[in-house]
Amino acid sequence: MGRAMAKWRHPLLVLLLGLSVWSFWESLCAVEVKEPLTGAAFPQEMGKQQLVASGVRRKYGLKVYAVAFYLDGSSRLWGPSGHVTARRVVKEAPGRASLRIVITSSLVTKQKLSQGLRESLRPRLLNLVQLAEAEEVLQEFEEALAKGPPLKRGTELVFTLKQSGLRLQMGKRYAAEIAGKAIVEALLATYVDAKAVAPEFKEHIFQGLARK
């Protein structure tokens, strides 16, 4: 009887150890970082992309949303302080980066968010393309937002910054694509250029790139 019990203990021990290791690995993968001013939680990794920095978009004193920037771990944008410019981020991040937004105010609606992003994107698009194309891209972007689910506090939006265009995901069930690299570069510039809409977030991005 003792030998029989011993035979069973080893497989059971291996199984329990295996479950413990798996649970530990899952907990590592699920590590989140909280944006300190809003408490919004961001995962440290999204696939191969690593969290660079987080910050807050304010308007008229209201904390509209928390935002985080993610970048592929193999990107050349990681490096010593001062070696990366806003232009390099705008040109080199597409295809390797994402922006993740968490709505932090119950006053934010799709219409208000769309209007705010349009105000930021339009002048930057006009630096890249002609007026007619800029308006067409903005309309496509606004329609993509409008078709998504209603916004509420805690709603997450993920902008995957591809080389060929922008992928928008709202919540877990809605996704849309906006073609063209101009919208990607304009969105990146919104957060890293000289007139960035969230200056502290911009600083955090460049500080974060220098940490690795």
Q: What is the pLDDT of residues 74-113, one digit of tens each?
A: 999 999 877 899 999 999 999 999 999 999 999 999 999 9
Do 12 and 44 belong together in one domain? no
The mean per-residue pLDDT over the stretch 15-37 comes to: 56
| Surface-to-core class of residue 160, CB atoms within 10 Å of its CB (0-12 exposed, 13-18 middle, 19+ buried) | buried
- pTM here is 0.84
pLDDT above 60: residue 8 = no
Residue 171 and residue 111 in one domain: yes
Are residues 163 and 94 in contact, defined by beta-carbon separation less than 8 angstroms?
yes
33-56 exposure pattern, b = at least 16 Cβ within 10 A, e = fewer:
eebeebebbbbeeeeebbbbbbbb
> Is pLDDT of 127 > 90?
yes
Q: In angstroms, what is the C-alpha Rg of the chain?
A: 21
Beta-bridge mates of residue 49: 46, 72
pLDDT, greater one: 44 or 19: 44
Instruction: Give the bridge partners for 65, in sequence order.
Output: 57, 103
- pLDDT-derived band of residue 25, with 50, 70 and 90 as boundaries? very low
Crossing angle, helix 131-146 and helix 110-126, to 10 degrees? 160
Residues 121 and 23 in one domain: no
Structural domains in the chain (count): 2
Q: Residues 181, 78: one domain?
A: yes
**Domain span including residue 15:** 1-30
pLDDT (0 to 100) of residue 135: 97
**pLDDT at site 110:** 96
Tell me the residue type at 4: A
